[in-house]
Chain A
Amino acid sequence: MRRRRFLTGALGAAAAATTAGAASGCGNLHSSDPDVLTFMFRGSTEERDVFARAVDVFIRRTGIQVNLISTSVDQYATKLQTAILGNSTPDLFYLEPTRTMAYVTNGVLADLSQYVDETDLPVDDIWQAGLDLYRFDGESIGTGPLYAMPKDVGPFSFGYNKTLFEEMDVEPPDPDEPLSWDEFLDRCKALTGDRDGDGTTDSWGNSVNITAELHSYVWSNGADWVDEDARTVTVDTPEFAEALQYVVDLREKHKVTPSINESEGLDGYQRWLRGQIGFFPVAPWDLTLYRTLDFDFDLCPYPTGRTGTSATNVGSLGIGVSANSRRPDRAAELAMFLSCDPEAQEIIVGQGQTIPNTRTRAKEWVKDTSIEPQNKQEYVDIVEDYGHFVPTSRTYTPEWLDTFFTNIQPVLEGRQDVGEYLKATQPVMQGFLDQGYDQLRIDQEANS
């Protein structure tokens, strides 16, 4: 079986590389020395330096050697999959939550539960949401054995440009009480205008990145993408339609976000960086850059729809251990160390690209007024209270959700009716979701 799998893997890797033109080689992803761990991750040069420093502490403390392999964000997924195909999976690697179900079902990930039970590290102090994203019982995400440690949790918070609010003489949002959609629209209208008097709009209330932010409007209006067990697509409800219509109207009817042409010229993110946008998402990974901006900003809850409760998503990146690792115990130790060891967390959080992974450390961090933004409690509230998992992290493949955004342009431009679009798209999305579960069933049978 092992030999067959090796041959399949070797030929498969070559075929895949030939098929897709994936010419990026694997390099030495699997160390020949069982005492040397390989850790493959992605990120910028700064992130690599941060992790190298944290791993150095681990090496010093345990004497275990670790080879770091970093790739660019774009190349990471393809390179990791090619490594898995070629049976040279690194001992540890970054895991996107959307891959958890597939990797567990196909025997790529090691079960970390026993190592978590045995460790002295403060794993219990890690955010529950961060751990639940990597639990899978064979049917659903959120329960069952633990297959990865969260490298971080990413509460996708909302924020606002304090300086622009002052300049336009608009009342800032309350840090605790979310605005209703109507109140939010009023604020956006007041923030949209021509500040330098040259006849063109140069400030807007908001700028919606539809793929990242629509979730918030949908959830806070009492709708969802899928039902509770993630088997049925539920985008064809009146609540969902109302949420999408609200987002479309922000631009097409109320003109409080840059138009499509204006966004194409300089997207919302760039305009936010230039201080032209009032409300904008402020995720932890952007904090390092945002702290260098010319204006002050802070966090606030997302505006609320019918439910009166704010909603947004909690992303994450995990650190998984290969099921084929020759030292899964040591690899699990490193994963847990990076995820919750106080000294490692000090190094990682110190750069401001992530919020602390542990509750105890987060409590101190939130109170530290020397760290911008001031309302960091919003991040904690999202992780502990009102954050949702990204929909695709609960399904086998992401294709069903991609379909929704592939054909949405006419709706965003007001050329197609929202209700009509949702009604036509639901069966297509359902088809892809069903295909994903068929794929899960076939993979489970093949790997049983």
Chain B
Amino acid sequence: MSATTPVGPAANTPPPAALVRSGRRHARVSAGTRASGASRPPGRGRLTRPERIWGRIFIAPPVLGFALFALAPLLFSCYAAFTHWNGLSSPVFSGLTNFRTMAGDPQFWQSLWNTLFLMIGIPIGLAISLALAIALNRRMPGRAAFRVIYYLPGVSSVAAISILWQWALNGDFGLVNELLRMVGIDGPNWLAEKTWVKPALILMGVWKGLGFSTLLYLAALQSVPRNLLEAAMLDGAGAWRRFRHVTLPMLSPVTFFLVVTGIIGGAQMFAEINIMTPTGGPEFGSATIVWYIWQQGFQNLKLGYATAMSLVLGALIFLVTAFQFYLNSRNVFTVE
């Protein structure tokens, strides 16, 4: 939050109503920045020739890297998606064949649906991590230890976590079913049953992402201006209303960031699936779209088709992310 907040007697403190939901984009430049910007207008003419050259040299590696490893493959993919290409010899132009195949490919749609279903874990994970962050934001013994413990999965290898969970979700001796047994529930055979394989993967995903989300929420909680909370309290707001109308809106940028990155990451889920259910799960129940793209491209020599699916996936991610940005722009909270 870049807006300057008045500091002074409580009577002069703007009430929580000053948190404004606006449809307009807000200038995120502070007065100080504007002033300094005005005194030093940017301009090409202010740089000397050697400075410009050095500037270009410094930006060359990332620009070249992007062009070579992102832009060129992307452009090539745009062409390859319209070809019959097996990855062993040159592509042969095939028009819209790949896209027509995709439209009638039940496994493509199922893997897309599976991917979407697994994203249920995003709001669940956010809710739990927010609760955890609130808990860890209090002064309590062992607070640092808890923070480290929750963050550990975030720095662990995906392969190791997947193998660990493969055992934890074991139908007979797995930890999950052992815990369920303690409360009298006979747990399912998680990874071998079509109904339960996706919830099992969601469970693992939530556990894995908890540390990172909690950490970000914790940082955001600690930067909620205290004067706003105090002002709300003086206005008679209870704990829940303070949380609902002050804390939660102030956390919205972090929530937005986590939702966007969660959806992008969720759409690219691969390693966990390939390790835990290497054949795409019972009745293709856990095959994600990226796993299916990999299988088609590298197992079945259909790189043209795989590339076409990648483009569609990329377009979908772009559209969803753009829509999220649009929604976010209508829900920006600032302090005026």
Q: What is A's interface to B at a CB cutoff of 8 Å?
A: 4-5, 8, 11-12, 14-22, 77-78, 81, 84-85, 102-103, 106-108, 260-262, 264-266, 397-399, 402, 405-407, 409-410, 439, 442-443, 446-447
Contact = CB atoms under 8 A, between A and B. Distances in A.
Nearest to A4: B90
Given A19-B293, A19-B307, A264-B170, A406 B283 contact: yes
Contact of B298 (A77, A260, A442): A77
Contact of A12 (B70, B87, B270): B87
A22 B297 CA distance: 11
B84 interface: yes
Contacts of B297: 16, 19-20
A6 to B, nearest CB: 10
A341 B263 CA distance: 56
Nearest to A428: B106
Contacts of A262: 172
Interface of A is mostly: helix
A265 B172 contact: yes
A15 B73 contact: yes
A106 B290 CA distance: 26
Interface string B92-128: 1000000000000000000000000000000000000
Interface in B288-309: 290, 293-294, 297-303, 306-307
Contacts of A443: 86, 88-89
A20 B76 contact: no
B282 A409 contact: yes
Contact of B87 (A85, A397, A399): A85
Nearest to A8: B90
A367 B87 CA distance: 47
Interface stretch (B4-12, B188-196, B222-230, B328-336): B188-196
B268 interface: yes
Contacts of B88: 81, 84-85, 102-103, 106-108, 443
B262 interface: no
A264 B300 CA distance: 28
A106 B172 contact: no
A12 B268 CA distance: 20
Given A78-B298, A407-B284, A409-B282, A15 B76 contact: yes
Given A81-B88, A402-B279, A402-B299, 9 more contacts: A12-B76, A18-B74, A20-B297, A81-B87, A261-B189, A405-B279, A406-B279, A439-B84, A446-B84
A264 B84 CA distance: 40
A102 B86 CA distance: 9
Given A77-B298, A78-B298, A260-B189, A407 B303 contact: no
Contacts of B240: none
A248 B92 CA distance: 44
Interface centre among B70, B90, B173, B279 (most CB of A within 10 A): B90
A446 B76 contact: no
Interface of B: 68-70, 72-74, 76-77, 80, 84-92, 170-173, 189, 191-192, 194, 268, 270, 279-280, 282-284, 290, 293-294, 297-303, 306-307, 310
Interface centre among B69, B85, B91, B300 (most CB of A within 10 A): B300
A12 B298 CA distance: 13
Given A14-B73, A19-B297, A406-B284, A439 B80 contact: no
Interface of B is mostly: helix
Nearest to B282: A409
Given A8-B91, A442-B92, A266 B172 contact: yes
A392 to B, nearest CB: 11
A85 to B, nearest CB: 6
A443 B91 CA distance: 9
Nearest to A261: B171
B99 to A, nearest CB: 16
A260 B188 CA distance: 11
Contacts of A77: 298-299
A399 B77 CA distance: 23
Nearest to A99: B301
B171 A21 contact: no
Contact of A15 (B80, B89, B279): B80
A264 B171 contact: yes
Given A12-B85, A102-B86, A264-B170, A18 B73 contact: yes
A107 B89 contact: yes
Nearest to A265: B172
21 contacts: A15-B73, A15-B74, A16-B87, A16-B297, A19-B293, A19-B307, A20-B290, A20-B293, A22-B294, A84-B87, A260-B192, A264-B191, A264-B192, A265-B171, A265-B172, A402-B279, A406-B284, A409-B194, A439-B86, A443-B88, A446-B84
B76 A14 contact: yes
A439 B301 contact: yes
Contacts of B172: 261-262, 264-266
